[in-house]
Amino acid sequence: MPDTQNSVPDTALTPDETPAISSASGAENKPAEAKTSADDNTKAEKGPFVPPAPTPTQTGPADIRFDFNLGCRVQLPEGAWTIRLRDLDTGNVLFETKAGKATVNSAKRFYVRFSIEIFDTAGKVFSHEFDCRNQDVLIQLPVGTLGDTLGWFPYVARFAELHGCRLTCAMSKAIIPLFQSVYPHICFMTPEEVENEDVLKTFYATYTLGLFFDDAAAIWQPSDFRLVGLHRTAGYILGVDPTEQIPMMAPDEETSRPVEEPYVCIATQSSSQCKYWNNPDGWRQIITFLKESGYRVICIDQKPAHGTGIIWNQIPHGAEDQTGDRPLTERVRWLRHAEFFIGLSSGLSWLAWAANCKVVMISGFTHPTNEFHTPWRIVNWHSCNSCWNDPGYRFDHKDFLWCPRHANTPRQFECTRLITVENVKRVISTIPGFPAMPNL
């Protein structure tokens, strides 16, 4: 039998399939194919991530250029070359071919500790082993998402600590104030700032964090996020310990309580109907229960109403309205002083988790392994559940009423419709310190 340890995969010599990549907001991008080609000056399609500098940023001998911006990239000048790419950790030869003037881009775009070897007819001309210590590295997070960014950022910080690199993190302008002061060793930029050509040409390596729904060839992620969890996928992509970790966030500028009385924050809105608690009278009854237990109930959703067509979800009756486009730092202040938070598998639940607020999460369309651990996670195992984590169903961001197994049937959205008020009350009753007024 041939030695498969060092065999070169056939796919290394042909264009890879290029899966659409998605953030939770539904943004998609088709990156350039992994390939060996003659000079390719085509501009990458505009997507959720800034494409790397058109030319590899690092210089070698004989006009050879290379970098690790979205995979290992090597640009060869005119000549008769043999190029070999190897994974230093596994020992596998990933790619080997003879080429003239060409650009080589590895198939894998997640973190791999590559080595590059280049030979001419006389012998080895150049070799380089990936080492980003004291190098400029870019990690991009898609804008338009809150929970994803909060879940992924601890792995970004872990990468910087592990490698000792000069790390730039591109993310939404609205989220940067949560982290900037407590991670002074990380440079925070918006995607618009990163697009500057003078900035792009400084990076030794670039990695992108996203939800790669159609990545059957494992180009962008070594393990499907639906298997390992929404947040832990970042650890796998970046090659760091995927153990869950709460991010640090900036201290509140205003340290006083927003209101004097004990209160509970709730967030009832989401981006798709499958994420809602679809029990038609659930929120009203829970709000009554909380008030009778001595709490004010504060709704901190961005919008008081959300939906599409004839399906609209309103702020629950009895909740105090603190909805609106508020700074996230203000939301964090409310959460840090709350007795606990009740929400869905959505961004504000992740914000509550990051604020070290006790989280009651109501979700049926995701499996509990999809989100951070909370002792107060509610799912009904007697109903259909966890379709989001089933790779047989591709989540459709454009279908507000997405329910892949039971659409247009009496069972549509049963995953949360069958989560009872009694169940939610029971879970709330296990929170330490509940109720606020025991004698009521």
The phi and psi torsions of 105 (rounded to 5 degrees) equal -130, 125
All structural domains of the chain:
4-129 (2.60.40), 136-238 (3.40.1260), 263-428 (3.40.50.2000)
Other beta carbons within 10 angstroms of residue 228's beta carbon come to 18
Q: What was the pLDDT predicted at 46?
A: 58
Taking only the tens place, the pLDDT of each residue in 211-260 is 999 999 999 999 999 999 999 999 999 999 999 999 999 999 999 999 99
Strands 28-29 and 21-22, sheet pairing:
antiparallel
Taking only the tens place, the pLDDT of each residue in 49-70 is 999 999 999 999 999 999 999 9
Residue 24's nearest CA partner among 110, 192, 149, 138 is 149
Helices (H), 231-382: 232-238, 282-292, 328-337, 347-354
Q: What was the pLDDT predicted at 11?
A: 28
Q: What was the pLDDT predicted at 48?
A: 81
Amino acid identity at 390: D
Q: What was the pLDDT predicted at 436?
A: 74
* pLDDT digits (tens), the chain, 440 positions: 333 233 333 223 322 333 233 333 333 333 333 345 444 444 444 578 999 999 999 999 999 999 999 999 999 999 999 999 999 999 999 999 999 999 999 999 999 999 999 999 999 999 999 999 999 999 999 998 999 999 999 999 999 999 999 999 999 999 999 999 999 999 999 999 999 989 999 999 999 999 999 999 999 999 999 999 999 999 999 999 999 999 999 999 999 999 999 999 999 999 999 999 999 999 999 999 999 999 999 999 999 999 999 999 999 999 999 999 999 999 999 999 999 999 999 999 999 999 999 999 999 999 999 999 999 999 999 999 999 999 999 999 999 999 999 999 999 999 999 999 999 999 999 999 999 776 54
C-beta of residue 81 within 8 angstroms of C-beta of residue 95: no
Q: How far is residue 269 from each of residues 215, 274, 300, 356, measured CA to CA in Å?
A: 29, 11, 10, 21
Token representation of residue 304: 């008081």
Helices (H), 164-228: 176-179, 191-194, 197-200, 225-228
C-beta of residue 204 within 8 angstroms of C-beta of residue 163: no
Taking only the tens place, the pLDDT of each residue in 99-156 is 999 999 999 999 999 999 999 999 999 999 999 999 999 999 999 899 999 999 999 9
C-beta of residue 98 within 8 angstroms of C-beta of residue 120: no
Residue 267's nearest CA partner among 250, 251, 286, 252 is 286
% of the chain with per-residue pLDDT over 70: 88
Residues marked as catalytic? 148
Q: How far is the first Cα of the chain from the last one, in angstroms, to the nearest whole number?
A: 77
Alpha-carbon gap, residue 4 to 10, rounded angstroms: 12
Q: What is the pTM of this model?
A: 0.89
Q: How far is residue 204 from each of residues 141, 199, 291, measured CA to CA in Å?
A: 18, 11, 55
- Output b/e per residue, 34-49; b: 16+ Cβ within 10 A: bbbeeeeeeeeeebbb
Alpha-carbon gap, residue 164 to 153, rounded angstroms: 16
